[in-house]
Structure 1
Amino acid sequence: MVLTDLREGSTGPITVMVCRKWDVTNVNGRYMSTDYVVSDVKGGMIHCTARNNIAHYFFDKLKEGGVYLLKGFTVQRTDQYRILKDSPFVIWLNGSTTVKRVDDTSGSFTRYPFLLTAFEDLEPTEGKYFVGGESKQLTYEQVAANKLKTAQYAL
């Protein structure tokens, strides 16, 4: 089974690699969940989450870069909190979810597709820098009220 085969209510099993892992807190700093981006052998990606009351079961079991066989999870549709814009589903790890580490000796998984680097440590690839960013359109009133200044980056 690969990620494109998952449907609402699917429970696995599926073999995935953990690409990214982070803790989610609310605006008051309260811990809410541990979330993951996982990929399959075909390069598909999906958001995966473990709520705060069960996340400790997976803390030492799921590590970035590790390949695992997951069973007993729940797949649900999500329109509210979507990490990957083209993925309508999220995998919810729960108390019945089992995790087994799998050896990827064939090298079939893309290692670290989201390898993040500090800006000052960027090195050119084929003589070019590739920098992603986000832009936001602001009104003059917003700029004046927040005393914002223009930032210029020369690469």
Structure 2
Amino acid sequence: MSFYVLLANFGAGRCSNTAEVHLLRFWEARNVRKDGELMSLDMLLLDEQPTLIHGSINSSRVDTFRRRLSEGSVYSLSGFDVARANPKFRLSDSQVSIRFNDGTFLETKTDSDKDIPTELFRFCSHEQLLTLANTNRELPDIVGEVSSVRSTIGPHHVMVTLRLEGDVNVCVSMFDDRAVTFQTKFDEHISKPKVILFTSINPKVVGGKLFLNATFGTHFYFDCETSAGKEHYERLVGDGANASSSKSEVVSAQKIEPLTVAELNQYVLAADPQVLALELWP
């Protein structure tokens, strides 16, 4: 029987031990200040403990590993570098992160006997989001009841208003490809979603209002696509929220109230939604 090391036991340096991990999700991190130049392929990995850790593949190695990656699959992973986690834009609570190198071994496990969770999220309350706003320290997750979905600047800017517990509303803002993908999936959904879960959002306060800006790591899930979303959905329906939600109807994309050019410029400049501060390596 193979011996696997838990992610929590890794120290900094080159690691020859093997970890068995669940690939939760991955995405391309691009530099919007350099015409969308690819910086890395980033991911979140989870083991049986469960420990969540951020993994990254430098742009020069993306083609080597991309075709092997499948969200939701379990892998044997060895021969990687372990580095101190970046203190900004954190995607997990781990103090270290994993970096693939030319000697990294990655193999799909189809017969795993490990009890690894299929999902793990880092949810924040409204108060915690306000504390994190404008600090660029954390990219937490959020789930809530859909109040409205609106678009500005055509299909390239979508704003989703969610009602959190305590009847607090927050706005999740998506730009460009994220916005287009979201709107397409939203329009194709059989019925208007009652619950949406967003991952890796960056809290910002602009003009005294809290905005949750999407990043390259932002994924979105409707209603019961995740266990966490399903739990929120069932609690919502069980509480008779169908009737109460009529006071904030979910609508298809539409123009919102007019903004002055100064107000719009302030938001767009302050939002900076797609930039991740990543430490690059050779």
TM class, shorter-length:
0.7 to 0.9
Q: How many residues align?
A: 142
Once the two structures are superposed, residues 43-66 of structure 1 have per-residue CA deviations (whole angstroms, 9 ceiling, x without a partner) of: 210000001111111111121111
Find 1:18's aligned residue among 10, 19, 23: 23
Residue 234 of structure 2 corresponds to: none
Residues 53 and 92 in structure 2, CA contact (< 8 A), matched pair in contact too? no
- For 2:8, which of 4, 8, 11 is the aligned residue? 4
Label 1:136 to 1:47 Cα distance change in 2 as closer, same or farther (>3 A): same
Larger RCO of the pair (alpha carbons < 8 Å, separation 6+): 1
State whether residues 42 and 57 of structure 2, in contact with CA within 8 Å, keep that contact through their aligned partners in structure 1: yes
Separation in structure 2 between the aligned mates of residue 93 and residue 49 of structure 1, nearest angstrom: 6
Cα distance change, pair 130–99 in 1 and its aligned pair in 2 (3 A): closer
Superposed, which structure 2 residues align to 1:21-100 within 5 Å?
A: 21-27=26-32, 28-100=35-107
Please tell me whether residue 103 in structure 1 is matched to residue 103 in structure 2: no
State the Cα distance separating 1:87 from its structure 2 match. Answer: 1.9
Counterpart of 1:54 in structure 2: which amino acid?
Answer: R
Question: Shift of residue 102 of structure 1?
Answer: 1.1
Instruction: Work out whether residues 13 and 81 of structure 2, in 8 Å CA contact, stay in contact via their aligned partners in 1.
Output: yes
Partner of 1:146: 263
Query: Which is strand-richer, 1 or 2?
Result: 2
1:153 aligns to what? none
Q: Secondary structure of 1:137's partner?
A: strand
* Aligned match of 1:137: 205
Shift of 1:86: 2.1
Q: TM-score, normalised by structure 2?
A: 0.43
In the aligned structure 2, how far is the partner of 1:43 from the partner of 1:33? Answer: 25
User: Whose helix fraction is larger, Structure 1's or Structure 2's?
Assistant: 2
Listed as ranges, the gaps of 5+ residues in structure 2 are: 122-141, 144-181, 187-191, 209-258, 267-282
Question: Structure 1 pair 13/130, CA: closer, same or farther in 2 (3 Å)?
Answer: closer
User: RMSD between aligned alpha carbons?
Assistant: 3.4
User: Are the aligned partners of 1:82 and 1:88 in contact in 2 as well (CA < 8 Å)?
Assistant: no
Structure 2 SS opposite 1:49: strand
Contact 1:67/1:104, CA 8 A, preserved across alignment: no
| Percent of matched pairs sharing the same residue | 26
